[in-house]
Structure 1
Amino acid sequence: MVDVPVYIKIHNELRRDIEGGKWRVGERIPSERDLAVDFHVSRMTLRQAIQTLVEEGILERRVGAGTYVASQKVQEKVSGVTSFTDLITAEGKTPSSKTISYHVAKPSISECKHLNIPETAQVLRMERVRYGDDVPICFETATVPYELVRDFPKRDVSKSLYHVLENKAGLTLGGAHQTISAMLASEQVAEYLQVKRGSAILRVRQVSYLQDHTPFEYVRTQYVGERFEFTLDR
């Protein structure tokens, strides 16, 4: 049986508190130090839970002021699912990835919601740095129902999930729903992307669907602002 990581348990409890109105939109939550004491965990574990909520757009950090419940932002819908590998190749660059973590786990309540799966399901959660011509473009955390990829080797899934699903699993990819917003690079992400802490980051949260509208991926991607841009056709 796969255990739920401690930071995911804290993430779930904090999210329930926020959704339950314990802290209102725009209100500052307790400090990491205080929350770590409340949950009886290290500040590193607590910070990982907070960072996950920041990446999901539920919380937002304000430099020198703490962490606040995020307000609803203007959303821009972008249709279609595009593989990062194909996108970089189309630009005439060579795509590559570095896998930071790759493990099977129980889903968070956010992952359950976006992937429409029960809390008893298993998911593959992987973190990757994606490159174009060996220059880091983005840091990505992708969550996929484990049943979709359990029969395929890690090297293939981590290299290009979409190619595995289309060419090996025989699935047809459909559309996606994206939420795009701005944020500042955390110390860890800045290190992965070779930028300064606090650099401008373009955050994209995406749920990708198969042709039959079944969600197959929930991904949180942080792009280096000066190395990537989105174009929208209207």
Structure 2
Amino acid sequence: MLVHDKSVPLYLQLKELIKQEIKKGNLKPTDRLPSEKELCNIYKVSRITVRQALAALDNEGLIYRSHGKGTFVATPGVDQELITVTPFEETLHRKGIKPSTKCLSCHIISADFNLATILAIPLQSNIAHVCLLGLGDDEPLVIYNSYFPQAIGQEMMALVQEKIQKGHSFSTYDLYKNISTVTPAMLTQSFESIVADKSTAKILNIKPGHPLLQVTTIVYTADGRPTEYRIAAYRGEKYRFHITRPAGSHFSNN
């Protein structure tokens, strides 16, 4: 039960109690939580305390609210650290989720102005386009659209076909260890909130307008040569990215 101890706010205690019930499996995905009023009566706390606890749980992706229906336990999501590059398979395994990958497209195209500029190659050069679908427990999670200069692209396409035939789960970044001529040294990423169009919604098994997190990545070699341009669309309610970094001298008292 809750302890009226000023060192630990009541809403944090309530949040942890509900969180533990979820972790223990006493509250399962899609289970409806008691109403705010019911929680107030059960734990003898104010509605403000209950709302703060639910907001904290919602922020951690442990619950979700449906207008007019109530508050429910969320299905497990994927939490990925941004400091280091973690393979797709490893990221899902850490969450106890079974990863798998499907190849939606794998062919040579001509680079338009945008792709030629990003990959630092002549306009109309041949490039490889690889489109992969990442799944967790057979549920679509993310679409990867990757573009490569032709030389490395040919190797990438061959590796993709090989991995698919063997039933392996992967993203294109996982395949660089099998290519001796190219070693990624740095990548830049930008993050943007978007909504799913009809074609994307169909692939991810969601409705058009569903929130997505779009991550745009450019991979570089040690000499600054672009080797991959990737646009990934993650299901917003399934994927969460986080970063831990030092506060720096701005907060120093000196």
Deviation at 1:231, TM superposition (A): 0.5
1:89 matched to 2:100: no
Alignment check: 8 A CA contact 2:159 2:175 kept: no
2:224 to 213, 225, 233: 213
* Unmatched 5+ stretches in structure 2: 1-81, 165-169, 246-254
Who is 1:132 aligned against? 136
Aligned counterparts of 1:115 and 1:212: Cα–Cα separation in 2 = 14
Q: State, as a whole percentage, how many aligned pairs show the same letter.
A: 25
The superposition leaves residues 81-100 of structure 1 with CA deviations (integer Å, 9 ceiling, x where unpaired) of 44323433343333222222
Sort the Cα spacing of 1:83 and 1:226 in 2 relative to 1 into closer, same or farther, 3 A: same
Indicate conservation of the 8 Å contact 1:176/1:208, yes or no: yes
What SS class does the counterpart of residue 242 from structure 2 fall into? Answer: coil
User: Is 1:108 the equivalent of 2:112?
Assistant: yes
After superposing on structure 2, the runs of 4+ consecutive aligned residues of structure 1 that deviate more than 6 Å are: none
How many angstroms apart in 2 are the aligned matches of 1:174 and 1:212? 9
- Contact 1:79/1:176 (8 A) holds in 2: no
Deviations 1:65-111 (A, max 9, x none): xxxxxxxxxxxxx6654432343334333322222211101112111
Aligned equivalent of 1:233, options 220, 225, 244: 244
Unaligned runs of 5+ in 1: 1-77
Corresponding residue for 1:143? 147
Deviates more, 1:133-142 or 1:218-227: 133-142
User: Is residue 81–residue 173 contact of structure 1 (8 Å, CA) maintained in 2?
Assistant: no
8 Å CA contact 2:146–2:228 kept in 1: the answer is yes
Inter-partner Cα distance in structure 2 for 1:175 and 1:205: 14
SS at match of 1:111: helix
Q: How do 1:60-71 residues align onto structure 2 when only pairs under 5 Å count?
A: none
Instruction: Name 2:233's counterpart in structure 1.
Output: 222
Are residues 1:155 and 2:161 paired? yes
- Higher Cα Rg, which structure: 2
Tell me the TM-score normalized by structure 1.
0.60
Provide the residue aligned with 1:196 in structure 2: 207
RMSD: 2.2
- Alignment of 1:118 with 2:122, yes or no, is yes
Check the 8 A contact 2:83/2:243 in 1, yes or no: no
Q: Is the partner of 1:226 in helix, strand or coil?
A: coil
- Look up the equivalent residue of 2:147 and give its one-letter code: T
Pair 111,79 (structure 1): closer, same or farther in 2 beyond 3 Å: farther
Aligned counterparts of 1:229 and 1:218: Cα–Cα separation in 2 = 21
Amino acid at match of 1:118: P
Name the SS for the 1:230 alignment partner.
strand
